[in-house]
Structure 1
Amino acid sequence: MAQGYVEFEFDLPAALLDSLVAEFAKMSSASLTHDHTGQVPDEQGVYQLLVGGQVVYVGKTDADSGLRGRLSKHAWTIQHRQNLRPEDVQFKCARVFVFTAMDLEKLLIRHYAQTADVWWNFSGFGSNDPGRNRDTTELKATGFDAVYPIDLDHPVDIQSEGGVSAAQVLDALRRELPFTLRAESDGSRGRRPHADLVTSIIPPFQTKPATTRQVLESVLGALPAGWQATALPGRIILYREDRDYTAGTVIGRS
């Protein structure tokens, strides 16, 4: 090798990973509530979710979907769940001013998986509605929805004195629920509500505030015979059918 010459390769991914891990280690966490997530800048960065001090999820965002938006979405997702109090979930996040082509999320998952079980990353947490074709899929026993089922008996802020359609009630319920509520449409490309949902009028709720279960029971009570509401992993479906799902629980039938 020539005198006065050396070949040096800087391991940027490893250096950035070490710096981020050290920064997270000395940070204090905050509860994953909208009061706290609303104070986070909506910038690109990385974050982790913790339960009982244990890292359960690691993620990253870019400038188009910043930290505030992503954490706020997660704060909404953990609502209305059995076995999980929202105040028990904590977060730490860091804005990263320079993103390289490296996959920071994968590097962080790999690091924390050595000493912690970041199982929310592999459990379906935060997934979108998989659609009708996946409604019969078996429930993964260790998945997020299996460990923290949706809570049908959680109160929802829906005011109804009666005289409104089932479709309107379901729209109001969707806005309240932090998980998917899917109902049969009329089959059009625009996915308009089924005619039964438009013409069926819901009476006043007997209990105020009503729970998700009570709202659905009121809707079923007003629909023609043949409708069924089912609680599936992480979502509720309402269709004209009479069937059992291995990974679901029938809420009621009309």
Structure 2
Amino acid sequence: MSYAEFELDIPAVMRSELPKYFDSLQETPLTEANVRSAIPDGAQGAYLLFLKGALVYIGKTDSKAGFRNRLVRHLNFVRHRRNIDPADVTFKAVRIFVFSNFDLEAMLIEEYTKKREVRPVWNYSGFGSNDPGRRREGQDPAVYDLEYPVEIDEEIPFLDPGEHKLLSAVLILKNNLPYIFRYDTNGAHWSKGHELMRDLTIVVPDGPMTTRKALRLFLDALPGGWRATVLPNRVILYPEKEGVSYPGQVEALSKSA
């Protein structure tokens, strides 16, 4: 016979070889500098996250954005959180040039769960999930967010001392905080803010600034009835009706007496 057909069983090869290849790599601290220096622009593949050496999350990316954006996004999910130090989080990443149509992430989770006899605890916990949007504020918080809620007493070096338009300061927080900061815009685009924010000013004092202190400045400038609510994975700034609360609410800040 002069003719035959051969098809490489990519899923079988991945299942057999990829975990061993990951095991041969060293963990690297999850910092933006390490991510950008280690991973080529546009690379695609799979990655592992570790907390104090324990495997906690397995992911993959086959999007054009690639590893860099995905891992930097994950870095934001461990910054400014209670009960976790970002310095304790490390990663391994493998670039994969040919993707098959099988679920690589599910395969790696299955293989490492068999090998280590425990499933990576951040998979299926809500880690890395998208912003649910204003209409879903009433949803129960994810497991990850309940265990590692946001911390508003972390120092924020990006809000400089001096006078600011309230809207400008609000936008600085929105663009720089590692978690979601959402606020009422009264129907305008988020960059336009609420009309009240456009005319009011605040004065940021000298010395260390935290998210809590910034929120207090915002609330004291705004009319009564506005409230900053700290939820497990985000902070929201809205005019609220008396007695309103949200599932998993950590605390609520209002105008100073």
2:162 equivalent to 1:161:
yes
Work out whether residues 184 and 238 of structure 2, in 8 Å CA contact, stay in contact via their aligned partners in 1. yes
Match of 2:138 in 1: 136
Partners of 2:190 and 2:252 in 1: CA distance = 27
Work out whether residues 232 and 250 of structure 2, in 8 Å CA contact, stay in contact via their aligned partners in 1. no
Partners of 2:189 and 2:146 in 1: CA distance = 33
Match of 2:224 in 1: 225
Which 5+ residue runs of structure 2 have no aligned equivalent?
A: none
2:250 equivalent to 1:249:
yes
Using the size of structure 1 for normalisation, the TM-score is 0.89
Work out whether residues 188 and 194 of structure 2, in 8 Å CA contact, stay in contact via their aligned partners in 1. no
Larger deviation, residues 174-183 vs 60-69: 60-69
The residue type equivalent to 1:132 in the other structure is R
Which 5+ residue runs of structure 1 have no aligned equivalent?
A: none
2:176 equivalent to 1:176:
yes
Using the size of structure 2 for normalisation, the TM-score is 0.88
Offset of residue 108 of structure 1: 0.9
Partners of 2:190 and 2:236 in 1: CA distance = 18
The residue type equivalent to 1:90 in the other structure is T
Offset of residue 63 of structure 1: 5.2
The residue type equivalent to 1:165 in the other structure is K
Match of 2:54 in 1: 54
The C-alpha deviation readout for 1:25-51, integer Å capped at 9, x for no partner, is 121110101221111213011101011
Match of 2:15 in 1: 17
The C-alpha deviation readout for 1:206-242, integer Å capped at 9, x for no partner, is x522100000011101110110000112100010003
Equivalenced residue count is: 248
The residue type equivalent to 2:249 in the other structure is G
User: Structure 1 pair 154/67, CA: closer, same or farther in 2 (3 Å)?
Assistant: same
The residue type equivalent to 2:125 in the other structure is S
Match of 1:126 in 2: 128
Match of 1:31 in 2: 29
Work out whether residues 45 and 95 of structure 1, in 8 Å CA contact, stay in contact via their aligned partners in 2. yes
